Amino acid sequence: MNYYPHSNVTIRPEVRYDWFTGGRNPYNDGQKNNQVLVAINASLQF
């Protein structure tokens, strides 16, 4: 999903969920087997 607040600006949000079903937990110093990442990307065209 992209947002165009101006003709030369693009904003792209991202939500990502990762999980692992193997032996050792890879996230949060070995405490969790899943994680959620929320990010925003802004692009300016000139």
pLDDT of residue 43: 97
Distance, CA of 22 to CA of 39 (rounded, Å): 26
Determine the pLDDT at residue 19. Answer: 96
Contact predicate 40/4, CB 8 Å: no
pTM of the model: 0.65
pLDDT of residue 13: 97
Domain that holds residue 22: 3-44
Looking at residue 26, what is its pLDDT?
94
- CA 1 – CA 30 distance, rounded (Å): 33
Per-residue CA distances from 43 to 1, 9, 14, 20 (Å): 14, 6, 14, 32
The predicted structure's pLDDT at residue 23: 86
The string of pLDDT tens digits covering residues 31-45 is: 999 999 999 999 999
The rounded distance, in Å, linking the Cα atoms of 1 and 22 is: 32
- Domains held by the chain: number: 1
